[in-house]
Structure 1
Amino acid sequence: MAKQESLRNSECPVARTVETIGERWCLMIIREAFDDVRRFSEFQKNLGLAKNILASRLKLLVDIGVFEVSPVADGSAYHEYVLTEMGRSVFPIVIAMRQWGERYMFEKGEVHSVLVDNQSEQSILPLEVRSVQGQKLAPADCHRQRVIKD
């Protein structure tokens, strides 16, 4: 089997993102962090993930800047994984995947979780892609353009 080429140097932001955080355990760890999970043992318990795999994924996520490691506030020797601004900005990606899954991955009558607003206790609105004028955009309404990052 041929070794796959890394997408980390691709011109495509989707390719680089998938290569970096798109691996399933990375996304599930980030999802848990959005539910205020911070300790290694909590990630392991919630995900049922082998310690070595969890450790390697957390190391990757720390190395790329999604998490930072901080001492636990109780003064113990433990530390916790805290989402950085970069990590918190993954939230809309996770929500988009969640909403797509809610719509297409469950049969009628099948139990699944939904995300609700803490204040209203109502389901959140579906994410939409909008133009700078506020119009809803579909794939045919957009195109890719090469630019140099400032």
Structure 2
Amino acid sequence: MTNRKNPSDETCPVARTVDLVGDRWSLLIVRDAFDGMRRFSDFQRSLEVARNILSDRLRRLVEAGILATQPASDGSAYQEYVLTAKGESLFPIVLALRQWGERYLFARGERRSQMVEKRTGKPVPVMMPRASDGGVLSPDEAEVQKPR
């Protein structure tokens, strides 16, 4: 038995988000969907995850409206998983994780994938939270107001 809260009782948006997409497999499925993967077999090959785990995470992402299923584009009997608008709105989260990892988890010159703008081929600029005046917002300049 677990003492975890029911996600709908949680007042923290971070906790609700992590409950839905915070495990390794869900985030990597979303990452791969951004990279154009659509089929179960492609996700499995990329992630090297057990079929039952992949099936469960895909089901949860579809139920949450992050992915949708559609008939395969080649007319085969397979279905494809595509990001919905809700799923596409996770792009800043995936990008922020990528940029944090680039900064702290790779040695200088170490090989890694890189996010670039398709139009220019240039690296995507580092994301920074902005204050209402447009300046960079530091953690000590923001606070969480909890409901009473």
Give TM class, smaller chain: over 0.9
Matches within 5 A, 1:1-150: 3-6=2-5, 8=7, 9-146=9-146
Q: Is the 8 A contact 1:32 1:43 kept in 2?
A: yes
Q: CA deviation at 1:4?
A: 4.3
Whichever residue aligns with residue 123 of structure 2, its letter is S
Whichever residue aligns with residue 96 of structure 1, its letter is A
CA-to-aligned-CA distance 1:90-113 (integer Å, 9 cap, x gap)? 000000000000000112232111
Q: CA deviation at 1:59?
A: 0.3
Q: CA deviation at 1:131?
A: 1.7
Pick closer, same or farther for the CA change 1:122–1:18 going to 2, 3 Å.
same
- For these two proteins, the number of residue pairs brought into alignment is 147
Whichever residue aligns with residue 123 of structure 1, its letter is P
Deviates more, 1:6-15 or 1:85-94: 6-15
Whichever residue aligns with residue 50 of structure 2, its letter is A
Matched residues in 2 for 1:83 and 1:113: separation? 21
Percent sequence identity is: 46
SS for the counterpart of 2:80 is: strand
Q: CA deviation at 1:43?
A: 0.4
Whichever residue aligns with residue 104 of structure 2, its letter is Y
Q: CA deviation at 1:80?
A: 0.3
Matched residues in 2 for 1:7 and 1:131: separation? 33
Matched residues in 1 for 2:30 and 2:121: separation? 23
The two structures have a TM-score, normalised by structure 1, of 0.92
Matched residues in 1 for 2:112 and 2:3: separation? 35
The two structures have a TM-score, normalised by structure 2, of 0.93
Pick closer, same or farther for the CA change 1:35–1:77 going to 2, 3 Å.
same
Q: CA deviation at 1:38?
A: 0.4
Matched residues in 1 for 2:3 and 2:115: separation? 36
Q: Which ranges in structure 2 are unaligned for 5 or more consecutive residues? A: none
Matched residues in 2 for 1:129 and 1:12: separation? 19
Q: Which ranges in structure 1 are unaligned for 5 or more consecutive residues? A: none
Matched residues in 2 for 1:6 and 1:40: separation? 31
Structure 1 stretches (4+) deviating beyond 2 angstroms? Answer: none
